Structure 1
Amino acid sequence: MDGGSVTTPFGRRPMTLGMLASQVRAQKIESSASVDKWKIYRALCEAKPLLDISDRALAVLNALLSFYPHGELSAERSLVVFPSNNQLSIRCHGMAEQTVRRHMASLIASGLVLRKDSPNGKRYARKDRQGEIRDAYGFSLAPLLARAEEIARLAAKVAAEKLHLQTIKEQLTLCRRDISKLITAAIAESADGDWWAIDEAFHSILNKLPRVATPHLIASVLAELEEFRAEIVKQLETQIKTENSSANALQNERHIQISESESISESEHPVTNAGDGLTAVNSADLGDNALEGQRLLPGKASITYPITTVTETCPDIALYGPGGSVRTWSDLISASTIVSTMLQIDPSAYHQAVSRMGVQNTAVAIACIFQKGSTIASPGGYLRTLSRRAGEGRFNTWPMLAALRRANISEPAAGPPKPVTQ
């Protein structure tokens, strides 16, 4: 390794105590020490946030390492490289020489490289008769060898922090998904409880996270969401136990009734009074209530929430239902066809939506578009976009309703939108 006393910079460049400390540390390297130059460079790239060095500075260091002829930085060999600024610029993919000098200065200030200036400030090497370098002046890579263990520890710390951040982000994503789908299921199946308020509380917790959050804040929100999820699960488990008890009692009662009257066949249809006699009733004849939670077109995503969810979130469309109200899915579908004309939605756009998402989902989407009013510049284009996403399996009317409900709560509507005139 290059020995000798402490060297000071050439010309007007000042000497600092940091430079002195780096030189002293470099002189204490054990004679048997060595490290793979590209391995230590990769560790430097990982530890970059803790060492406060830039990407461009690392690019200059990469160029410096490329001038070192051996694969390992070894204390048994000279650790000084002496490329010209022009050569460094070429190895840095054409970086301006002034920029190279600036980033070289930052590497020296960070204690990763040392200057070993010649008497006249030039960079060169003298060799002996055997061709071995005797004296070399330029940039010493000895600090990399001296700080190899420290850099490896810093790289491991950064890697551990990244892994921790990735883990809590994954846990946060899973927890958010669990809570969202549990609330959706609870509302769809009319579970006991104010689930709209619970949904609002859930989003108020999520709003604590900015776009760029610290690991500590993410962990804090995650802990709060996990506790929130546990409370939801506990509430739903209580409801399930209650429903199971009721179902068992009902099943036992039905079993007793069947045992007492074996003349009733299980294949018979339910019957209702119709005039003087009894008439079999098919499920298709039960009216609009049979459409609750069912799909109207085969192959389309089914609605899993009651009609009241739509009418409470989108009350404006009720004025255009039969008799000025919407009580059933058929009422909503009738109102949506009227409103689609008022919104100047092209018939082809309407039929495309029906073919891709079903008539019920189309009616819900139009109700939401109508409720948003003037905030949607092109209702027809917006409906086509939703149809395309539905065809790709990336659209569901439930999140649209939930978002609109939250918007209505935070900013109450001023009144029903005015119809669009032709």
Structure 2
Amino acid sequence: MQTGHAVTTPFGRRSLSLGMLATQALAQDVDCEASIDKWKLFRNLCEARQSLGLSDRALIVLNALLTFYPQTELKEEHGLVVFPSNAQLSLRAHGMAPATLRRHLSALIEAQLIFRKDSPNGKRYLRKTRAGENGEAFGFSLAPLLVRSTELEALANQAKTERWQLKLLKERITLLRRNIVKLVELGMEELPHLDWNSHYGRFRMVIEGISRRSTAPDLEPAIDGLECIETEILSLLENKVNSRRTSANESHFERHKHNSNTQHKLESEPGQENRPEEKSEPDWRSAEINAGENLPAIAAASERVNAQIAAQDVKPIPLGLVRQACPEIEAYATNGITNWSDLMRAAVVVRSMLGVSPSAYEEACDILGQENAAVVVACILERAAQITSAGGYLRSLTDRAFKGEFSVWPMLLAQLRAQGTHLNLVPDR
């Protein structure tokens, strides 16, 4: 087979373009001694397809064209024209529709990877000589692939390098995301008085600005932002570590020792014994809570009544009030919430859904009591969108309750105010 060096124009209504002339001129520069493995060349094309503007369907068509080339090595002496019919080409392109096949053939031609060498009647065939030898062939010339083989290999290597760099950047973002979330959880537990929501909000703004199709230049500013947030959080936690270096171990063991004591005096549950001395009932409505505050802010605003609560007998919380302030938890109950057992079973489900560890919830039950712990989980569920770490926040409230600085009543009433709901005690069923 011979490729010929004369300019060929398209058959029929197809028009000639400057790109076609450029491709044919490129094919004339083919080195007679040059050769390349056609499948290695195809793999390079697959790697560099985005820079060439090729779709995966166009590569399927090119793969089908290469299967009609009998030798493994693309070489001038073997001929560089293949001449399958559209029907045969469609079969090897996994049954691609004729219109789709023509569209992707045109895409390969526009990408200057092949060009048409049309016969006088537009048919594709190989002409035989009188001696029976192969003569001129008409069909699709693969000569541009051979001429551009070095360029395509360079594009493939560049695409591999960029993909590797992008992978490294994505891994770095994954590590930073994990670090920041864990550090914020630790901060919520150890330094609950700080505004961790602002750090988490900045973190979410950076993450939400990253799209799935982000390139390496798009990810570099995001990494810089995440590293700044991580540095700020580490600085806050390191200051805490330095300030408590001498007493950290003692405080840690003391906390566990107290948690194991079942005789500590906290706010009492219905039916508990050993209640503290009765004092005048505090004014629960004195805590003014804004509707837009999150749960950490609600607990902080209730501190002026919490000191009174820890040292006196607290009225049992009506179940109807819990259902009125925290309606979302009812969706996690099997048959609705009609008694405290239903609420506690739903709280266990919500605990798992919020990512609260079993140890954190058990500690809350030990300190607050099972019913009050369920009420706290129901309140956290109402504000789940504003809380970075539900587990860390529950541990913080448990620690404060152990010190007599937290009670469930103000949190529940504040939740009612945050919803703009008037206090309406619904009797328990």
- Alignment TM class, shorter chain as reference: 0.5 to 0.7
State the match for 2:400 in structure 1: none
Q: Distance in 2 between matches of 1:181 and 1:282?
A: 27
Residue 15 to residue 399, structure 1, CA distance change in 2 (3 Å): farther
Q: Summarize deviations over 1:165-188 as a string: whole Å, max 9, x none.
A: 221111111111111211211220
**Contact 2:35/2:73 (8 A) holds in 1:** yes
TM-score between the two structures when normalised by the length of structure 2: 0.66
**Cα gap change, 1:189/1:6 in structure 2, threshold over 3 Å: closer, same or farther?**
same
Aligned residue in 1 for 2:191: 190
User: Is contact 1:64–1:88 with CA below 8 Å preserved after alignment?
Assistant: yes
Deviates more, 1:358-367 or 1:224-233: 358-367
In the alignment, does 2:256 pair up with 1:283?
A: no
Q: Secondary structure at the match of 1:93?
A: coil
Tell me, yes or no, if the aligned pair for 2:117 and 2:140 is still in contact at 8 Å: yes
Inter-partner Cα distance in structure 2 for 1:220 and 1:200: 17
Question: Which secondary structure state, in structure 1, belongs to the residue aligned with residue 50 of structure 2?
Answer: helix
Aligned to 1:49: 50
Residues 6-405 of structure 1 aligned to structure 2 (within 5 Å):
6-128=7-129, 132-190=133-191, 193-210=194-211, 212-245=213-246, 283-288=261-266, 312=296, 335=317, 343=327, 345-346=336-337, 347-348=341-342, 350-351=344-345, 353-354=347-348, 357=358, 358=361, 360=364, 362-370=374-382, 397-398=390-391
CA contact (8 A) 2:321 2:425 kept: no
Question: What is the distance in 1 between the residues matched to 2:77 and 2:422?
Answer: 83
Displacement of 1:214:
4.0
Q: C-alpha displacement at 1:33, in angstroms? A: 1.0
Q: Distance in 2 between matches of 1:164 and 1:31?
A: 38
Relative to structure 1, is the Cα distance of residues 64 and 211 closer, same or farther in structure 2, using a 3 angstrom cutoff? Answer: closer
Between the aligned partners of 2:45 and 2:193, the Cα distance in structure 1 is 57
- The CA distance in 1 between the partners of 2:393 and 2:247, in whole Å, is 34
Give the Cα–Cα distance (whole angstroms) in 2 for the partners of residues 42 and 417 of structure 1: 69
- How far has the Cα of 1:83 moved from its partner? 0.8
Compare 207-216 and 165-174 and name the one that shifted more: 207-216
Question: Are the equivalent residues in 1 in contact too, given 2:65–2:82 (CA < 8 A)?
Answer: yes
Moved more, 78-87 or 360-369: 360-369
Task: Note the C-alpha offset of 1:288.
Answer: 3.6
Shift of 1:223: 0.9
Q: Which amino acid aligns with 1:367?
A: C
TM-score when normalising by structure 1: 0.67
Match of 1:409 in 2: none
**Amino acid in the other structure paired with 1:232:** I
CA drift at 1:311: 5.3
Cα distance change of structure 1 residues 223 and 85 upon mapping to structure 2, 3 Å threshold: same
Partner deviation per Cα, 1:323-359 (whole Å, 9 max, x = no partner): 9x9869x989x75955565545345574265387546
Which range is displaced more, 117-126 or 235-244?
235-244
Deviation, 1:68, is 0.9
- 1:189-248 deviation digits (Å, cap 9, x = unpaired): 127743333333333433433565343232101112112212322332232122114569
* Alignment counterpart, residue 420 of structure 2, candidates 412, 415, 419: 415
Task: Give the CA deviation at 1:79.
Answer: 1.0
Q: d(CA) in 2 for partners of 1:219 and 1:73? A: 42
Counterpart residue number, 2:280: none
Q: Aligned residues: percent identity?
A: 38
Gaps of 5+ in 1: 252-268, 271-280, 290-308, 376-395, 402-411
Match of 1:365, as an amino acid? V
Q: Using a 3 Å threshold, how does the CA distance of structure 1 residues 368 and 419 change in structure 2: closer, same or farther?
A: farther
CA contact (8 A) 1:339 1:370 kept: no
Q: Structure 2: which 5+ runs fail to align? A: 252-256, 268-292, 331-335, 353-357, 365-372, 395-416
Preserved contact between residue 44 and residue 153 of structure 2 (Cα < 8 Å): yes
CA shift for structure 1 position 131: 5.3
Distance 1:418 1:368 in 2: 19
Secondary structure of the structure 1 residue equivalent to 2:244: helix
Distance in 2, Cα, partners of 1:104 & 1:420:
75
Tell me the SS of whatever aligns to 2:420.
Answer: coil
Structure 1 counterpart of 2:177, one-letter code: R
**Higher relative contact order structure (alpha carbons within 8 Å, sequence separation ≥ 6):** 2
Residue type at the aligned position of 1:105? S
Per-residue deviation, 1:17:
1.8
Segments of 4+ moved more than 6 angstroms:
325-328, 417-422
How many equivalent residue pairs? Answer: 336
For residue 127 of structure 2, give the secondary structure of its aligned residue in structure 1: strand
Please say if residues 192 and 239 of structure 1, whose CA atoms lie closer than 8 Å, have aligned partners that are also in contact.
Answer: no
Question: Which secondary structure state, in structure 1, belongs to the residue aligned with residue 77 of structure 2?
Answer: coil
Would the alpha carbon gap of residues 339 and 73 (structure 1) be closer, same or farther in structure 2, given more than 3 Å must change?
A: farther
